[in-house]
Structure 1
């Protein structure tokens, strides 16, 4: 084999040397490398959606996005290029979908064709490179993990009576109400208390316990989760150019995120160990209990490991705590800025619920309250851009989108 490679190398060098005198093997390799780089930068499908103007080598459209990329992508460029076009994210193409018809076709009517995740280095690194659910690539293991987690959360959420999630939400809401009352109508910052209340619901479902509002472990965990969310958002340049993680100063956001992630993982690992010691196989109490039973029985999720349990549990924190707390805080801000709407919400609650706490059974009787919450989520979306990836080659409005393309 080595002799064959040597013969091919010498033959190519001899042919090129005849055509271009003085050409060395090193020069040939440099030229080949430059050719491959140019090919990777400029290659594209012959029927890919159009590029907006402003694309640069290596950087692509990154500089053209400006300070409000969501406005550029979904408003300005949509008017100019239509509902489907391609942007260059560094060295990678991403297809942008706009408008109700196109988005519904892709994410609802043909959801399985757009159900994967494209590589995103920072997220991948903090979730064991696909060992969780949120960043896992499309495939059998991903589908089994997602189905298992969804089933468990439904069991926990629909449990009736003491220990049910609705009971825990009412208990936490009551604690929050007392915390607010302690301020005797004086101004105060509600952000921490809201975060604790929401996070305690997540912890109840995952750990089977709640934390006191002043608990030091809980405070560190909450601060770590908030810091990770901020640093990951600040360090997205590393997801576009992963090699920058080795560059001092530029990699500061990534380093901070990984340091805080290690704190979260430490708490979750301790909880997993505690659950192994006190596991009631006949009466699983929370998400970790169900996961540990699955680890023993191997019935629903192929190849499930304790690492998967760690990262799946972490997913619940990041997907459920900060997002819900931020939505509730925006709701309070808008209620404060719109007292007339606040009064209508209060009147509906007083009429339907009275002086007690609301339950899930009241939801259908509270259309105005529901409408206000939905409006807050519409105008203050927690995640402004939904990122998917194709699971096979697919056509959208006559354009060809290859397998694995970021959408």
Structure 2
């Protein structure tokens, strides 16, 4: 088996806005937004429709990712808030989490600019398909539980914290594959594939998947392939991914939002019977060796090889919890300290029951963390990074 971790396929520059319910409420009033028009599914063509979508997610306490007609909408909205510029994309955030433990990785990037050069940790190297510098920022909105947004039509209150992503990113939509990817994969112990969800041209997607197939020919046969699902802008495109990659995917990950999209119904995440039924249903749709669902309460893997990933699952939950309580700036010591925190009892009850109900299932309860300033951005990405700790070369913790 190879020794490097190769993470892809596309990185982003993120504009993380600091949530301010008063600003959001004033925008709702300014645009005359009514509660009856809140929806998460309408096209986002301007700032008004962006605010409509944000409020619709907040009222349900839900998270998601949506396409915006223009990057100018993202910049216009972000300019109203205190905003931090960070690096995103599942592979990049997973790599940053691994860097906190002294674990290097190789990134596959599709865009580059001075923000990437400035913010990428020194332990991360990259191959890139970009031929010039571009900047198409992703708007990241995270809101806390219990936030109240007041406007002319009353008020809404979020039942839980969550994060939203809005973007118009041509390089990630094109997802060009770097010619050097195959060589990078030749010494890989694990390969993370994510990012195809933003593509909107089916013929181009098919071409990229064919190019990825060619690069995968150089991946060692015993290397782990982890595919992380995401909010597909065109949901049926997921089937094109499966046609090419299912025979090679070892672990297929998704969060609760994606689980519910696939089973086309709400899932009560604290009802073991409902969870078990949803897991079996989505595994029938996506028949991989290990299908992994990570949520705020638990992470559970189902499939014939699920049991071999118990330690990786524990590390993944620990990494996501560390980011939740401390944000990006955590250390290896912080990561180890998280393991000593109490577990979520309700999540543990679900795990125990589902493990007994479905042969071969393994699960891990989330941690019970009380913080006034939770970080909901990038938890799934850090979860993936934590999972890959188990497949990394010998690390030297930065204690």
Q: Please confirm whether the aligned pair reaches a TM-score higher than 0.5, indicating the same fold.
A: no
Scaled by the length of structure 2, the TM-score of the pair is 0.25
Decide which structure has greater helix share. 1
TM-score (norm. length: structure 1): 0.24
Q: Which has a greater percent of strand?
A: 2
